[in-house]
């Protein structure tokens, strides 16, 4: 569960992933800051809700939002959602997105993605998921915090449309092997990398980079990029 701040917390106004057992994509883009006092969907708080029907892409753990801003510029037809567990950064990034004029179709909401995705509907409604440089959580007692898990992959598989994509990046060799093993073992995914039968990509094909990817490239660090495609249902 995402952190629940006191009313006087400096980021108590942050927009959060909506409550409820079944949350639609449109509900998500109507989420407004709690302090605004406006009803969901208010143009003053969140901008006009983007028209349904365009591709929807989700970034798990957008942090300071660098990728969301670059992707918003590169893919003006897409609706983008960042699910960020850290209240401070979800609030700051969502506000900056609105000030930049992206608020109608690009949001950063406070949520634990592992919990939020279980409630998101409809099945098959998402075009692409991004997971950029997730925290490796080296200590054994922290392994339960690792975002990648069979349960998360089940939810991603449920939400992706047939042919939808899962893109994962890391500069940690051990975690790259772990992610490839976990995703490769899931029946819903097939590798979609540069070579047949491989998930690995030499380059990021989405015209947008996270701050961590920019730093890794500048420092000459190797980055493992994995791309998987959702197999057709039935």
Distance, in Å, from the CA atom of 31 to the CA atom of 173, rounded to the nearest integer, reads 37
Query: Binding residue per annotation — 123?
Result: no
Whether residue 135 lies in the annotated active site: yes
Is 220 exposed, middle or buried, given 0-12, 13-18 or 19+ CB atoms closer than 10 A? exposed
Torsion of CA 32, 36, 41, 44, to 10 degrees: -120
Nearest to 226 by CA among 96, 150, 133: 133
115 known ligand binder: no
CB 131 within 8 A of CB 93: no
List the beta strands (DSSP E) in the chain: 23-24, 56-60, 79-84, 106-110, 120-121, 126-132, 160-170, 189-191, 200-201, 224-230
The residues near 162 (Cβ < 8 Å, ≥ 6 apart) are 124, 230, 231, 232, 233
- Annotated active-site residue in 38, 123, 135, 162: 135
| 84 annotated to bind ligand | yes
- 154 known ligand binder: no
Which residues make beta-bridge pairs with 190? 229
Neighbours of 25 (CB within 10 A): 19
**Does 57 carry a binding-site annotation?**
no
88 is in an annotated binding site: no
Binding residues: 59, 84, 112, 135, 139, 171
List residues with catalytic annotation.
135
């Amino acid at each position: 569960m995402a952190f629940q701040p006191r009313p006087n917390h400096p980021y108590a106004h942050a927009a959060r992933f909506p409550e409820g057992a079944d949350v639609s994509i449109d509900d998500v883009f109507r989420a407004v800051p709690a302090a605004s006092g406006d009803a969901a969907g208010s143009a003053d708080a969140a901008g006009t809700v983007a028209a349904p029907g365009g591709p929807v892409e989700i970034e798990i753990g957008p942090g300071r939002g660098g990728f969301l801003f670059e992707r918003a510029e590169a893919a003006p037809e897409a609706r983008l959602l960042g699910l960020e567990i850290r209240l401070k950064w979800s609030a700051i990034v969502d506000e900056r997105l609105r000030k930049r004029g992206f608020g109608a179709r690009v949001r950063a909401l406070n949520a634990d993605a592992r919990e939020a995705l279980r409630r998101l509907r409809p099945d098959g409604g998402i075009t692409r998921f991004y997971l950029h440089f997730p925290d490796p959580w080296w200590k054994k007692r922290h392994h339960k915090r690792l975002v990648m898990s069979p349960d998360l992959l089940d939810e991603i598989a449920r939400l992706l449309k047939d042919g939808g994509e899962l893109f994962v990046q890391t500069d940690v060799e051990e975690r790259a092997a772990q992610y490839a093993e976990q995703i490769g073992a899931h029946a819903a995914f097939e590798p979609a990398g540069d070579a047949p039968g491989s998930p690995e990509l030499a380059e990021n094909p989405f015209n947008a980079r996270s701050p961590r990817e920019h730093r890794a490239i500048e420092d000459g660090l190797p980055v493992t990029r994995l791309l998987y495609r959702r197999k057709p249902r039935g």
